[in-house]
Amino acid sequence: MSKSIVITVSSSGIGKATAKYFAEQGWKVAATMRKPENETELTVVENVTLYQLDVTDQASIDAAAAAILADFGTVDVVLNNAGYGLAGPFEAATPEQIKRQFDTNVFGLMEVTRAFLPHFRANKAGLFLNVSSIGGRVTFPFISLYHSTKWAVEGFSESLAYALG
């Protein structure tokens, strides 16, 4: 039986490269993205199935998790890859920008985790891989919002590892 992985934001960068890599290794890949109808490259990769998922939309998360579990039967790994960096002086950021940064980088990751956690607990198996960055360990000027989200991801991930370990 082949292993399966869910990857958030597989439309570019690390997510797309990871989807291709796992598919080449024979894994079943649930490649998620906000607009799967725009994806062309992954549609021709064997073992990859595209799913609509926006980490800032709870209904989207719930629908994607349900569809993936129905299609795959079991999920072995969830790679929380969604995220972006907002740069500039803090005082120039609008409340909407701050909310979007945290909704994408932190709360979306938490809600995707929450969506698959019951499945992992029921199976007594599963692995969450949460993509962070060096920005979750050290800081640089004018990236305070990005850094604060990545520090949150680091803290959440470390604590969750103890709780699930």
Q: What is the pLDDT of residue 135?
A: 86
Q: What is the pTM of this model?
A: 0.96
Q: Please report, in angstroms and rounded to a whole number, the separation of the first and last CA atoms in the chain.
A: 25
Calculate the CA 55 to chain-centre distance.
8
For 144-159, give the DSSP string. HHHHHHHHHHHHHHHH
- Residue 43 CA to residue 112 CA, distance in Å, equals 23
Arithmetic mean of pLDDT, 65-88? 97
Burial 40-62 (b: 16+ CB within 10 A, else e): eebeebebbbbbebbbbbeebbe
Is residue 132 part of the annotated active site? The answer reads yes
Calculate the CA 130 to chain-centre distance.
7
Q: Token pair for residue 62?
A: 């719930």
* Percentage of the chain modeled with pLDDT above 90: 94
The active-site residue, picked from 150, 157, 159, 162, is 150
Note whether 47 and 92 are within 8 A (CB).
Answer: no
Q: What is the pLDDT of residue 134?
A: 87
Three-state SS for 93-115 is CCHHHHHHHHHHHHHHHHHHHHH
Q: How confident is the model at residue 75 (pLDDT cuts 50, 70, 90)?
A: very high
The active-site residue, picked from 11, 16, 146, 157, is 146
Q: What is the pLDDT of residue 16?
A: 98
The active-site residue, picked from 132, 148, 159, 162, is 132
* Tens-digit pLDDT profile for residues 148-162: 999 999 999 999 999
Coil, strand or helix: which one is 51?
strand
Is residue 162 part of the annotated active site? The answer reads no
